[in-house]
Amino acid sequence: MIYLIDGTMDGIFTAVFNSYLTKKFPSALTDGEIQLEIGEELVEVTTDLDKAQRVFNKLYKILPKRETDRIFTAIKSGDFAKFTVIFNYIVKTIDAGKNIYDKLSDKDVFNFDRLVSRVLLEAHRFKGFIRFSQAENGVYYAKYFPDSDINTLILPHFVNRFKSMPFILHDLNHDVVSAHVDGMTKTVREKVIPLDIKDDFAKLFKTYYDSIFIKERANERLMNNYMPKRYHKYLPEKNELL
């Protein structure tokens, strides 16, 4: 049996509730984005906020806030298996009746831990790989294409760092735009046409990037391990600049 959910956290919580009610547990959950195997029974779960709240309250009693936060981090993952991984972790935790976050010899705990780590790793990487260009009106604009929905995770970092600087973070993959002006931030989720801004500093940075390369030690494979190729598109140092 596979649960078809609406892709939200409340959808997963409702699915958990229904499972305990019917004593039937699905082999997987999907939001309909992926192709299903033929022959598997598909059960649609209608998100019910009351049910969701009851499951969340239960978790909140068992887990410290740090752990419930991790669940909301996990749902930001770009991995299509995330619904199943989160569902299984919640069920394991409720069954255990206690916080088992570091019982990594358990498959469900391990998978959940890895899911969260990957989101956090990507967020951390983009604290470095975000590139702003300065527009003529003085606003700094950055576009990027992350696997996970991390715009609001990394926003506080940039707000702290660039307190006196107006800037925009534009996630082209999940269509999220966050803006920061005068200490205020606003995030919208909608498709916005990305900007193309020419910035002379980009050329200087490319000059810098090329000149500190030690040719005798070339090791592009290592570079790509740390800075995967899929991230190169919006890095000025990895592109020809006009």
| Shortest CB 160 distance to other proteins, Å | 6
Structure tokens at 231: 């991230």
| Shortest CB 105 distance to other proteins, Å | 4
The residue within the footprint of other proteins, chosen from 163, 229, 230, 233 (CB under 8 A), is 163
User: Read out DSSP for 144-200?
Assistant: E--SS--HHHHHHHHHHHTTT--EEEEETTTTEEEEEETTEEEEEES--PPP----H
| Shortest CB 26 distance to other proteins, Å | 23
**Of residues 10 and 113, the one with the C-beta less far from other proteins:** 113
**Of residues 4 and 139, the one with the C-beta less far from other proteins:** 139
Structure tokens at 223: 């570079």
Task: Give the separation between CA 242 and CA 197, rounded to whole angstroms.
Answer: 11
> Binding to other proteins by residue 184, rule CB under 8 A?
no
How long is the chain?
242
The residue within the footprint of other proteins, chosen from 107, 229, 230, 233 (CB under 8 A), is 107
> Binding to other proteins by residue 191, rule CB under 8 A?
no
Give the contacts of 101 (CB within 8 A, at least 6 positions apart).
67, 70, 109, 113
Q: Give the interface segment with other proteins, choosing from 42-50, 72-80, 86-94, 214-222 (CB under 8 A).
A: 214-222
The residue within the footprint of other proteins, chosen from 213, 229, 233, 239 (CB under 8 A), is 213
> Binding to other proteins by residue 205, rule CB under 8 A?
yes
Helix (H) or strand (E) holding 3: strand 2-4
